[in-house]
Structures are given as structure tokens and as C-alpha cells.
A and B are shown apart, each in its own frame.
Chain A
Amino acid sequence: MKAATRRRVISVAASLAALAALAVLLFPLYAVIVASFETNSQLFGASYYSFFPAQFTLENYRVVLSQQGSHVVSSLIVALGTALLTLAVAVPAAHALARYRFRVTALLVGSLLVAQILPSIVIANTLFLVYHRLHLLNSYPGLIIADASYAIPFGILVLRAFMLSLPKDVLSAARVDGATEWRAFIRIVLPMSRSAIITVALFAFLNGWGDFIFALTMLNGNTFEPVTLSIYTYIGEFSQNWGEAMALAVFAVLPAAMLLVAAQRYIAAGLTVGSVKG
């Protein structure tokens, strides 16, 4: 009886503590959403911040949709491109590294681990000059190749770890039955690795969507501009136009929020496998 009461007290106290922690962690998002429906005179003209504004406006969204739609499309292209490139490079490589033991396997896996550590600014600084020569600046392929620089090593390592855990007999049986290496890969390895592939694709997508450093260094804004870069230029130019900036920020955080709702278990899996974010 006493133990039961104790458990109830702990349960209630823990719930309250969790709610308090969530309130602190999620307040910034609440503030962004509220601000995106406010006018600038409410946000900046006022001498105080109001937590529950009395009036709401859709004006910010009207402006953002008419002016920033193309940037959202650009971000989508970059994010999808990053996910596709990552899968195209990482899935076959992971398969090879999991299935065969080359003399260079340890070296290659080691260098992928080191590649994950390299700061993006180091890559950006030199790729900018290389791209300048190759005419890849201000291009989708150039930006996508750079944006995948985190997701590709991450993807190979996660997929390889997953593929190592797959039963080996199935693959051997298929080979005995006369399936080519390529067929066995397509017909057996890919379907069995589905969940790990989804996890890697999601992370690559979010990396491409959230990239700022490569967009900042490799685009001059004349060809296309992803949302992160346009928010940055926005607060630089119209530093007092918070309503519109926050409406744009809502668009920028939307994919993360939607993926969290739709694919939470893949995201949690990616994190615990030992993920990092660029």
C-alpha cells in the first residue's frame, strides 16, 4: 500500500517535471508560431512582449508565400537531391563493406569516421575555390554534392552496421541459386535493409534542408536560394521585419516537424545508432 502511494507520487511529480521541461524546450517554437501571425507594430512597436497576443493577422504568410515560394522549392530540390545522392553512394558502399572483407576495409571505415569529424567550414573554404574552377558555384549539383558531405559517411556507417546484422545464409543461398551479385543486392539486401535506408534518407534530407554554411559560401543569390539563406538575408536587410521572418521560419521548421510526427521511430533509430548532425 505504501509502495503504491509512493509510486503514484513519483508518477505525478515526474509528469509535472516533464511538462516543465517541455515548456522550456518548446517555448521558442510557440513564440515563433505566435509571432508569425502578428504585425510588426505588435512585435516591434510595442514596448513589451505579449505571450498571448489579442490580434492575429495572415498578412505575413501572404507576403512570404508570394515572395518566398521559390526558395521553399529550392530547399526541397536540394534536400531531395542530397537524400538521393547519399543513398546512391552509401547503399552500395555499405553493402560491399559489410559483405566482403577487403584489406582496406578497416582503413576505409576509419577514414569515414574521420570524415564525419571534418568541420564543414574546412570543406567549404576549399570546395569554393575548386568549384570556382569547375563552374559548380551557384549550381544545384555543386550544392548537393557539398551538402551530402555529412550524410554520406554517416549513411555508409549506419547502413553497414545494419547490413552486418542481416542473416548471411539468405544471401549465400541466393548466390548458390545462380543470382548475380547485382540481383542479390537489389532483390535481397535492399528490401531487408529498408528501415535503415529510410533512416539514412531522412537524415540526409534534413541535412540538405537545414544546410546553411554551403549555401552561404557557394551561392551568390542570383540563381537560386534555399530557405535558410533567405532567412539570413531577410534578417540582415529587414532587421525589424520579424513577423515575416518568423512566418518564413515556420516554413523552414515544417519538414522537421512533419518528419518527427510521421517517422519518429526512424529518427530515434538514427540518433541512437550513433548519429551526429553536420
Chain B
Amino acid sequence: MFLLPALAYVLFAFAIPVGYNLLLSFEQTSPATISHLTAPFAGLSNYTTTLHDPIAQSAIVRTFSFTVLSLLFQFIIGFALALLFNLKFPLRRFARSLILVPWLLPLLVTGVIFKFLFQLQAGAVNQILLDLHLVHQPVGFEVSPGWAYLTVLITNIWIGVPFFTVLLYSALQDVPAELMEAARIDGAGAWQRLTRVTLPIIRPVIEVVFVLGFVFTVKVFDVVIGLTNGGPANSTQLIATWAYNLSFQEFDYGAGAALNTVLLIIALIAAPLYIWLNRDSLRGGSA
């Protein structure tokens, strides 16, 4: 009885959407079919048309590169900050709480804020670059395709760093001090202590952070919409934003569903890993 609401919810908000998405992806939809739940069967045509479309193809490739680069830099920066906060200094509690802020903002708002910062005319980032004499004239961050991709990437890294920092920091806290001391006495240098002692101990947490990071980077949507709307010239479209475009701008729900299936498959790559990392909780918790 306690489970009934949850079962109903899972059915309505997860099982039905996934099943219906599959069904839709094989149907010939049009604005006229919206009022019916089903449309004529279309075979694989949604998949073949969508996947042959160069914009969809580059959105898929871009989603991969975007995810890999985001995770890489989020990890490097987040780990560096976690090591920093692991040192003892007066400001660390204060700094550690403030660092959470970027993580908690509505993602769309973050996108809009960075759109403002990266403006061509009178943009803060351009002003900093000009003041430091790194550039001689303002960079068209939002108007040139390559720069726009970089701008979205930087924004997404900014959002994810607190998450990496907080989780890696709490893992570092659990590394036994005696173990580090013993390694020091045995003559291990700082680098050796990091790679031989710290990293192996916190490896489980690193795995969790990467899997979770992957899961929410492949579906990035709000940030792109707020910052570039997928432009200029579709140069920042990711799978999620292009699927949105197909369904809700071109009203081709079947094509959108086909691309969504691709996104679903990519996201579900993480599922076995995620379940495996949570294997203890599946067993009913020996804790």
C-alpha cells in the first residue's frame, strides 16, 4: 500500500513515456496527428531521415565531444579544488559553502547569465581579455560557431565544478591520516602519496562522480537554450536540443522521438555501471 503511489508514478512518468517514445519513433506523425495518440506506422523512416540529416549527425558527435571535454575539465578543476580544501586554512569552511552556489542555480538562468557575460559589445569577458591585452578587439563568442561551442562548454564546466569538488572533497576526508603519515615516513613524495595512496582509496567515488557526470552531461538542454539557442547556424545543437527542435519547432514528433531514442540509448550506456556502483543498495542494504 505504501508503494502504490510510487508504482503509479513510475508507470506514468517513466514507463509510459519510454514505451510511447519508442512507438512514436516508428510512426508518421504530423501536426494533425497530435490529437490522436497514434499515427500511421512508418517503419524505420524516422530513423533513416533523422540520422542522415547532417545537423543531427553533428549534434550527436558534438554531444560526445561536449560530454568528454566537460567531464575532463570538471574533474581536473574539481579535484584540484578538493585537494585545496583538504588543506587546513582559515577560510576553508566559508569557501566550501560558497562554492556550491553555481550548482544550485536554475540551469536556464545560468545560460542567460553567461550569455550576458560573453556578449560581443560591452561583455564582461571581452572586457577582461581586452584589459589583460590578450585580445586586441572583442571576440564574437556568441556569433562565431567555434567560439559559441567553447562558450557553452565553459559554462557547463562552471556548473559542474562544485559537484565534482564537493564529492571528491568528502572522499578525501575519508582517507586515513595515519596512512598518509606512514607513506610520508616511508619516504613517499607528495606526488607519490597522491597517485599511490590517495587515488586508489578514493577510486570508487571517482567512478561514481564520472558516471553521474556523464548522465547529466549527455542530456544538457537548458544551458544551451539559454545561452545560444543552438545557434549560430546550429553550431551548438546537442542531441537534446535538436530533438526538441524537431518535435516542438517543426512539430515532427516522430523524428524527435527517433533522435530521443538515440539519446536514450547513449544515456542508458551508463545504467549498468550506475546499478553496479549501487549494488549494495540493491541487495536490500547490509548496512
Contacts and interface: CB of A to CB of B under 8 A. Distances in A.
A260 B97 contact: yes
B10 A125 contact: no
Interface in B40-90: 81, 84-85, 87-90
B192 interface: no
A247 interface: no
Given A14-B87, A49-B126, A92 B166 contact: no
Interface in B228-284: 240, 243-244, 247-248, 253, 256-257, 260, 263-264, 267-268, 270-271, 274-275, 278, 281-284
Interface string A97-131: 11001000110111111111111111111111110
A27 B98 CA distance: 12
Contacts of B116: 31-32, 35, 242, 245-246
Contact of B264 (A27, A113, A122, A235): A122
Contacts of B16: 126, 130
A256 interface: yes
Contact of B219 (A95, A121, A249, A272): A121
A268 B207 CA distance: 19
A58 interface: no
Interface residues of A, number: 108
Contacts of A47: 121-122
A132 B281 contact: no
B240 A119 contact: yes
Interface string A1-13: 0000001001110
Contacts of B283: 106
Contact of A122 (B17, B100, B103): B17
A234 to B, nearest CB: 9
**Dominant secondary structure at the B interface:** helix
A96 interface: yes
Contacts of B212: 274, 276
A14 B85 CA distance: 8
Interface residues of B, number: 96
Given A113-B278, A252-B106, A18 B92 contact: yes
Interface in A119-148: 119-130, 132-133, 145-146, 148
Contacts of A232: 108, 112, 225-226
Which of A133, A209, A228 has its CB near the most chain B CB atoms (within 10 A)?
A228
A68 B23 CA distance: 40
A212 interface: yes
B6 A272 contact: no
Contacts, number: 306
Nearest to B15: A111
B21 A125 contact: yes
A249 B113 CA distance: 8
Nearest to B226: A232
A260 B104 CA distance: 8
B109 A22 contact: no
A56 interface: no
Interface stretch (A59-67, A155-163, A191-199): A155-163
A26 B98 contact: yes
B252 to A, nearest CB: 11
A253 B106 contact: yes
A268 B100 CA distance: 8
Contacts of A27: 124
A73 interface: no
A117 B89 CA distance: 38
Given A26-B98, A228-B108, A260-B97, A123 B13 contact: yes
14 contacts: A28-B110, A49-B122, A90-B6, A119-B218, A119-B263, A122-B17, A124-B244, A126-B20, A128-B248, A145-B9, A228-B109, A231-B112, A268-B166, A274-B208
Closest 6 CB pairs of A and B: A210-B106, A93-B6, A119-B219, A96-B2, A49-B127, A256-B104
Given A98-B285, A212-B107, A276-B212, 12 more contacts: A96-B3, A108-B3, A117-B215, A117-B270, A119-B218, A119-B263, A123-B14, A124-B244, A125-B253, A152-B13, A210-B106, A216-B248
Interface of A: 7, 10-12, 14-15, 17-19, 21-22, 25-29, 31-32, 35, 43-44, 46-49, 51, 88-90, 92-93, 95-98, 101, 105-106, 108-130, 132-133, 145-146, 148-149, 152-153, 156-157, 160-161, 164-165, 185, 206, 209-213, 216-217, 227-228, 231-232, 235, 242, 245-246, 249, 252-253, 256-257, 259-260, 264, 267-268, 271-272, 274, 276-278
